[in-house]
Amino acid sequence: MSRIGIIGSEGRMGQAIAEAIRAAGEELAGGIDRDGDATTLTPKCDLLIDFSSPHGLENTLDAAVAAGIPIVIGTTGLEERHHWLIDNAAQTIPVLQTGNTSLGVTLLAHLVREAASRLGEDWDIEIVETHHRMKVDAPSGTALLLGEAAAEGRGVGLANSAVRGRDGITGKREAGTIGFASLRGGSVSGDHTVHFLADNERLAFSHLAENRTIFAKGAVKAAQWLLGKEPGRYTMPEVLGL
Ligand SMILES: NC(=O)C1=CN([C@@H]2O[C@H](COP(=O)(O)OP(=O)(O)OC[C@H]3O[C@@H](n4cnc5c(N)ncnc54)[C@H](OP(=O)(O)O)[C@@H]3O)[C@@H](O)[C@H]2O)C=CC1
Ligand SMILES: O=C(O)C1=N[C@H](C(=O)O)C[C@H](O)C1
């Protein structure tokens, strides 16, 4: 039985993850939230799961590195500097960061990469996501993950091809771009559709999350897989063998 600590333990995901830890037969070592100190938690833990906010990530990574324990990061809204911090920590401890821990989205990203690699630039790619009214970041981490998969399939960088939201006189759509649109409202757990749009035909790949248990189960599965691994940065496809 492994002792797992949760960063963001009182949040919607933190509570779902606590349930998934118990259901998986692991031990819930404790948790912290905004005013907590990760260094008080790490001595009780074999691993951390962080589903909180990017603001606390640096301190959390420092605490995990100091304790020499692995960490699963599901927090979204990450910027380039957060990825740099994660890469740095991964030199010392095993780290898995993903915008979506579900099996369905992990497979979807694979399918999107494949479709993008086979369809030319005359197939425009647009990613639409819908989330509950409490979500604070946009586009969602999952939308960005799917955008990365599409960009990889095309052999381009997402940073240079992303169009994040449109307003006003935008001009014609530029070929090769990958568009993002975000809807917010109600209690939607997380819906994502990647549209491939050509002249006279369209493809749409969708994933609809019916509740948070899929993310929580995936996070615990990733935690179990990560324990005992060498330091490094790992991915959900590796966990799920996809
Ligand atoms: N990768 C995935 O599969 C998924 C990722 N997510 C992501 O997980 C994150 C949390 O989502 P959700 O649970 O819905 O959000 P909530 O707002 O419900 O919960 C966030 C929790 O994190 C805590 N928190 C905020 N800042 C810090 C900090 N600096 N240090 C420690 N804890 C902090 C909050 O505490 P307080 O109340 O005190 O502010 C709160 O308890 C989001 O980034 C979301 O996008 C969500 C679902 C799936
Ligand atoms: O905030 C959420 O709720 C979710 N966040 C993740 C994201 O940003 O993609 C995953 C899931 O869609 C739910």
Instruction: Give the tens place of pLDDT for each residue, 129-143.
Output: 999 999 999 999 999
Q: What per-residue confidence (pLDDT) applies to 242? A: 85
- CATH number of the domain to which 134 belongs: 3.30.360.10
122 and 87, same structural domain?
Answer: no
Phi, psi of 236 (to 5 degrees): -65, -40
For the CA of 236, the nearest ligand: 1
Give pLDDT tens digits for 148-176.
999 999 999 999 999 998 999 999 999 99
Q: How far apart are the first and last CA of the chain?
A: 26
Residue ranges of the annotated binding site are 8-13, 33-34, 74-76, 98-101, 132, 141-142
Matching residue, tokens 């939230």: 33
Instruction: List the domain range (segments joined by +) for residue 72.
Output: 3-101+212-240
Name the average pLDDT for the chain: 97
Q: Is 110 a catalytic residue?
A: no
Give pLDDT tens digits for 87-125.
999 999 999 999 999 999 999 999 999 999 999 899 999
Q: What per-residue confidence (pLDDT) applies to 91? A: 98
DSSP state at residue 201: E
155 and 66, same structural domain?
Answer: no
State the ipTM, two decimals: 0.99
Whether residue 93 contacts residue 231, with contact meaning beta carbons closer than 8 Å, is answered with: yes
Q: Is 192 a catalytic residue?
A: no
Whether residue 11 contacts residue 210, with contact meaning beta carbons closer than 8 Å, is answered with: no
pLDDT above 90: percentage of residues in the chain? 98
115 and 194, same structural domain?
Answer: yes
Average pLDDT on 43-49 reads 97
Based on the structure, what is the number of domains in the chain? 2
- CATH number of the domain to which 46 belongs: 3.40.50.720
* Nearest-angstrom CA–CA distance, 102 and 13: 13
79 and 118, same structural domain?
Answer: no
* Nearest-angstrom CA–CA distance, 75 and 1: 25
Which amino acid type is present at position 167?
A: D
Matching residue, tokens 């833990």: 45
* Nearest-angstrom CA–CA distance, 65 and 231: 10
Q: What per-residue confidence (pLDDT) applies to 16? A: 98
136 and 203, same structural domain?
Answer: yes
